[in-house]
Chain A
Amino acid sequence: MKVVYEKSPGLTDVPMHYCPGCTHGIIHKLVAETLVELDVLGRAVVVAPVGCAVFAYDYFNCDAQEAAHGRAPAVATGIKRVHPDNIVFTYQGDGDLASIGMGEIVHAAMRGENITVVFVNNAIYGMTGGQMAPTTLVGQPTTTSPTGRSRIGQGAPLRVCEMLATIEATTYIARVSVHTIPRLNAAKRAIKKAFQLQLENKGFSLVEVLSTCPTNWGLSPVDALRWVEQNMIPIYPLGVYKDVEGGT
């Protein structure tokens, strides 16, 4: 029988714990394929976050360090400074990166750390059961904004790519989505480019991936994909926000 598709050797055989319809698994796959295609799996080190992707160290088929909540960019800094030849990346959610870890991500970007950040934004705290995140949309109900996030007192969504693109030392900042096949393919290209830049010692790269949370959004997997298209993308426009090589 001819093999037409197989699981990337960049992933382990450990069954993933992600909810049905969650796109973390797809994003893991894209990153794993990238590591294999760039032939860097054997020198890759993933820094796992606290949040839904906390077990990323079980899934990526490479060395790993589990960081405290929000501290992944600092941990990655320590690893990369010791072994500049390692390909070091963090995999962080929006609570981890855009809330408790805002200081670490901004300053890793400011220093131009030669690391890659995969930032998964699903506009909610998933692991802890659906609380409001800094990325939660205005009006979006969560367990800690039960009547919907209010602009007054709870503020409006933080746009991480737009913010980090203003930092001089960043090399590549892009926002992508995986809710359709064409978008997924574009996301793969962005992730690959971000890692390629690290491989070329160009500096800090980040790809924000809009992701679904059917469980905590209270939607079916299909409706969740639609929700990304209809509600998230207008607030979080897809695109390349920074590219030192001038591409778009």
Chain B
Amino acid sequence: MARKLMKGNEAIAAAAINAGCRFFFGYPITPQNEIPEYMSRELPKIGGTYVQAESEVAAINMVYGAAGAGARVLTSSSSPGISLMQEGISYIAGAELPCVLVNVMRAGPGLGGVQPAQADYFQATKGGGHGDYRVIVLAPANLQEAVDLTQLAFDLADKYRNPVMVLADGMIGQLMEPVELSPYQPAAGLPAKDWATTGTSHSGGRRRIINSLYLYPDELEKHVRAIFRKYDEVERTEVRFELLDCEDADIVIVAYGTTSRIARSAIDKCRRLGLRVGLLRPITLYPFPFAAFEQVMGRARSFLVVEMSMGQMLDDVKIAVAGRRPIAFYGRTGGIVPTPEEVVKQVQEIAGGRVA
């Protein structure tokens, strides 16, 4: 298929359909409205279903029902709406259902603003709702990657029977870039959904029950430990990251999504100034690429974390670096997107020995 100029939100929606998603449940919120709008327009043409829910709370529970019925299902929202979905996400993880969530992050806290932000990192990667569980989190930095990761998200969800979140931001959602939607094949060996509630006449009378309630503590602990064995496998096999110009880098910038694009521009400028700077870009935020830091640790003298937040991924970088190198942080918040020049200035300060 030829490359096509698309808006980020529409590219994500098109990728979901390409991956076999035929069910979308959502609620309007800026800056992700092009996703539900695209789905409401395109899904009926191919026998799919779009339902505009009365709230994000209802939308995520419709996702629960559809996922439990065996469908590939998507919802999308932006930060305040994702907060409302946390109850349902916890239930979906607890009941081990596959689904894909898109968070086109905007600035918070509270109603915040509609401009791009990355301040939902903690919520996305550390659980978000109640109880012991994780959401697999994929962070695209450009629209082709948004397409590829959205399709991957459906495979990972089905493979691990767990919610997978595509964590974008208002910039990724709203910008336009050429993308290619190649013919999609689901990953080989995905397990059959023999647990889906399609009626016992389809299962030889065996009842399928979708549930996260275990009133006996020993049963619940067994259930949670089984879920965490899946997370062990996720952490072993699903880590994705990119290293750029790290071979000779004295300073390694750590950034994901939109800020990693800005870091790339900053690195070009730094290199022209004779500063040896590289980029470590996590693509999976959970599982976080802790081991990737070992690949750059030998050469790097310090790290600079850049985020559109007051410092959230920073905590994981601190765990990865474990006190072995100084870590500087540069964050903008409130919907302000940092410029490459601002990042260059931070690098120059570190290079000049004024690292925090």
Contact = CB atoms under 8 A, between A and B. Distances in A.
A77 B69 contact: no
B205 to A, nearest CB: 8
Contacts of A62: 199-200, 207
B212 A66 contact: yes
A79 B200 contact: no
Given A45-B197, A68-B88, A82 B57 contact: no
Contacts of A74: 53, 57-59, 61-62, 64-65
B209 A79 contact: no
A61 B197 contact: no
Interface in B182-199: 197-199
B198 A83 contact: yes
Interface of B is mostly: mixed
B16 to A, nearest CB: 16
A67 B88 CA distance: 9
Nearest to B62: A78
Nearest to B99: A78
Interface residues of A, number: 35
Given A82-B69, A107-B54, A63 B64 contact: no
A198 to B, nearest CB: 14
A71 B88 contact: yes
A82 B95 CA distance: 18
Interface string A54-91: 10011001111111100100111111111100100000
B303 interface: no
B211 A57 contact: yes
Contacts of B213: 54, 66
A176 interface: no
A103 B210 contact: no
A102 B213 CA distance: 23
B334 interface: no
A63 B199 contact: yes
A103 B198 contact: no
B145 interface: no
Contacts of A12: 207
A45 B95 CA distance: 16
Contact of B209 (A42, A43, A63, A103): A63
B207 A78 contact: no
B61 A68 contact: yes
A81 B58 contact: no
A232 interface: no
Interface string A92-117: 00000000000110110001000000
B81 interface: no
Given A67-B64, A82-B49, 10 more contacts: A57-B211, A64-B209, A65-B209, A65-B210, A66-B213, A74-B61, A75-B68, A77-B65, A86-B69, A111-B51
25 contacts: A43-B201, A45-B69, A57-B211, A63-B208, A64-B211, A65-B65, A65-B197, A67-B65, A71-B57, A71-B61, A71-B88, A74-B58, A74-B62, A78-B65, A78-B66, A78-B67, A79-B65, A79-B68, A81-B51, A82-B66, A82-B70, A86-B198, A104-B58, A104-B61, A111-B51
Which 5 pairs from chain A and chain B are nearest by CB?
A78-B65, A42-B201, A74-B61, A78-B66, A43-B199
Interface of A: 12, 41-45, 47, 54, 57-58, 61-68, 71, 74-83, 86, 103-104, 106-107, 111
